[in-house]
Amino acid sequence: MSRINAVILDWAGTTVDFGSFAPTQIFIEAFHRVFDIDITLAEARIPMGLGKWQHIEALGKLAGIDERWQQKFGRSMSHDDIDAIYEAFMPLQIVKVIDFAAPIDGVIDTIKTLRSSGIKIGSCSGYPRAVMEKLVPAAEQLGYKPDYWIASDELAAGGRPGPWMALKNVIELGVDAVFHCVKVDDAVPGIEEGRNAGMWSVGLALSGNEFGKTWDEYQNMSADAVDRLRQHAADKLFTAGAHYVVDTLADLPDVIEQINKRLAKGEKP
């Protein structure tokens, strides 16, 4: 039967770390600590989903940050500068990531539901392996463990928005066709990753980077404010190519039912 038999999940903002704060805060600290350059949380979020070295490179190309860099150093950011920030980022992130390992509300129950339907649970991340080696066991202790995971720096071909991490999941999970997979992510490069891999791509508008609020902040927002920010996030994810956009991973089983009906009709992503 043609139906979904694997999901490939992002980590921060998708399965753990509501609002995707662990990486963004460390980027801000690393820029300030190494070069005394201040970047905003909004700027730090813009390239979210890329590998972390590539994320720093993309930040350096943002007009506002490049202008500040030019004013301070008389030039744009160099590869050596990126390396220096990355070297500062890594130990900070390794220490901090376990503080953001708690599964997002609904994730554990959703994983149980998916597995009860015979669906395999893959995962990939913009984090490098050294960070994932801390995050994965910390999340497991709190109840979340995928069947497979891979980090952004493990494949020679690269990371997002390329398809390679998602396709490595296909190989390791033994999935029979890429269109029997759903890639779930809260950031634009992760949606593009799924599309580039030939998979159904599902965006999360509420729990992740594009919404960008902590759980407590979200709980205290007005309904109108939530709706505005949700729509902003959904628009970005749909523009990136998402086939569906829902609030959180808890909404995924209903989406999979819809996709299975489309697959039964012969549709593909």
What positions carry a catalytic annotation? 10, 52
- Structure-token match 């979020």, residue found: 45
Residue 131 · residue 99 · CB < 8 Å = no
Structure tokens at 203: 């965006």
Helix (H, G, I), strand (E, B) or coil at 153: coil
User: What residues pair up with 246 in beta bridges, in sequence order?
Assistant: 204
194 φ, ψ (degrees, to nearest 5): -65, -45
- Structure-token match 């033994």, residue found: 174
Dihedral sign, Cα of residue 199, residue 170, residue 18, residue 157: negative
Lay out the sheet containing 6-9: strands in order across: 120-123, 6-9, 181-185, 200-204, 244-246
The Cα diameter of the chain in Å comes to 61
- Burial 237-267, CB ≥16 within 10 A → b, else e: beebbbbbbbbbbbbbbebbeebeeebeeee
Structure tokens at 247: 């609030």
